[in-house]
C-alpha cells in the first residue's frame, strides 16, 4: 500500500473526524470513576458516536473486534476489550477512540486516572505524554520518521522506561490503518521522509518495566510480560507546508 497524500477536500473531512474523536474523549472523561465497568464506558461512547455525532465507531467489527472503543487498564498495553471489569481507585486507563465520518477516520487516545494514581503510574503516564509531544513537535516536511522514532525512544529510555516495539503508529485516512508505519524507536535519517499532505498517528506505548509484551487468549488484549504498568497517548496529525496540524487536539483540552 502506497502512502496517500491527502487533498484539500480529504483534509477537511479528516479535520471533522478528528474533532469528533477528540470530543468523545472529552465527553467520557467524567464517567471514568470507581465502580463503572469498561463495558459501560463502551456503551456510553457507542451511543454518543452513533446517536449524537451520527458517525461510526471504527473498532466495532474491525477484523472481528467486538466493541466500539478500546479500554486498556494498568498493565494492559493496548487493544483491551471492554467488558465486566469494574474500575477501582488507583487504576490507570487508556481509552482509544476512532471515529469514521463521511468515510474518513479520526484516531486518538489518552490516559485517564481513576481516583488518585500511584507515583509510578503518574510518572509512566507523563513520560508517555511527553514522548508524544516530542514526536509531534518534530513533524515537518523533509524530516524522516526514523528521526521521530529515535527521539521518542531516547526520551523514554532516559526516563528509565521502555518503548513497546511490536505495535506502532500508522497512516490514516479513508483507511483505518494505512502506510506508513510510524515506529516509536529507530535510527535518525531512516524510513520515510515526510511531505505535506501526509496524515498519520503517533501513539507511543511506554512501559514502566521491560518492553516485552504478550497477546492474551482473546486475540486482542496486549499486556506487559512483567506486569509492569503501561501508558499510551495518541493523536492523528497532518504534515503541513511548514510543520504539523494535530487533527485530534481539542481546544482547551491540551494534548
Answer whether residue 251 is part of any domain: no
**Residue that is written with C-alpha cell 472503543 in the block:** 69
Buried-state track 10-30, b at ≥16 Cβ within 10 A, e below 16: bbebbbbbbbbbbbbbebbee
Considering the entire predicted model, what is its pTM?
0.96
Answer whether residue 20 is part of any domain: yes
Answer whether residue 213 is part of any domain: yes
pLDDT at 255: 40
Buried-state track 35-57, b at ≥16 Cβ within 10 A, e below 16: eeebbebbebbbebbeeebebbb
Answer whether residue 245 is part of any domain: no
Answer whether residue 23 is part of any domain: yes
Q: In the structure grid, which three cell numbers stand for residue 191, read together? A: 524510513
Nearest to 215 by CA among 105, 17, 79, 44: 79
pLDDT at 173: 98
Answer whether residue 246 is part of any domain: no
Answer whether residue 254 is part of any domain: no
Into how many domains does the chain fold? 1
Answer whether residue 3 is part of any domain: no
Domain residue limits at 73: 8-238
CATH of residue 34: 3.90.230.10
Inter-residue contact 149 to 184 (CB < 8 Å): yes
Report, as ranges of residue numbers, the positions in the chain whose pLDDT lies below 50: 255
Amino acid at each position: 500500500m502506497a502512502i496517500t497524500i491527502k487533498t484539500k477536500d480529504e483534509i477537511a473531512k479528516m479535520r471533522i473526524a478528528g474533532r469528533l474523536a477528540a470530543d468523545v474523549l472529552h465527553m467520557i472523561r467524567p464517567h471514568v470513576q470507581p465502580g463503572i465497568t469498561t463495558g459501560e464506558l463502551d456503551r456510553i461512547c457507542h451511543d454518543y458516536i452513533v446517536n449524537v455525532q451520527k458517525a461510526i465507531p471504527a473498532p466495532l467489527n474491525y477484523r472481528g473486534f467486538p466493541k466500539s472503543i478500546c479500554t486498556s487498564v494498568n498493565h494492559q498495553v493496548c487493544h483491551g476489550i471492554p467488558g465486566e471489569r469494574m474500575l477501582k481507585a488507583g487504576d490507570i486507563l487508556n481509552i482509544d477512540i476512532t471515529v469514521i465520518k463521511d468515510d474518513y477516520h479520526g484516531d486518538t487516545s489518552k490516559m485517564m486516572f481513576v481516583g488518585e494514581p500511584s507515583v509510578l503510574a503518574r510518572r509512566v503516564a507523563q513520560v508517555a505524554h511527553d514522548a508524544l509531544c516530542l514526536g509531534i513537535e518534530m513533524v515537518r516536511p523533509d524530516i524522516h520518521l526514523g528521526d521521530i522514532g529515535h527521539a521518542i525512544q531516547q526520551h523514554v529510555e532516559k526516563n528509565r522506561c521502555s518503548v513497546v516495539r511490536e505495535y506502532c503508529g500508522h497512516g490514516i485516512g479513508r483507511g483505518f490503518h494505512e502506510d506508513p508505519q510510524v515506529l516509536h524507536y529507530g535510527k535518525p535519517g531512516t524510513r520515510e521522509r515526510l511531505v505535506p499532505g501526509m496524515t498519520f498517528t503517533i501513539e507511543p506505548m511506554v512501559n514502566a518495566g521491560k518492553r516485552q509484551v504478550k497477546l492474551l487468549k482473546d486475540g486482542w488484549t496486549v499486556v506487559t510480560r512483567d506486569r509492569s504498568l503501561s501508558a499510551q497517548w495518541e493523536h492523528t496529525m497532518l504534515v503541513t507546508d511548514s510543520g504539523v496540524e494535530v487533527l485530534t487536539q481539542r481546544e482547551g483540552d491540551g494534548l
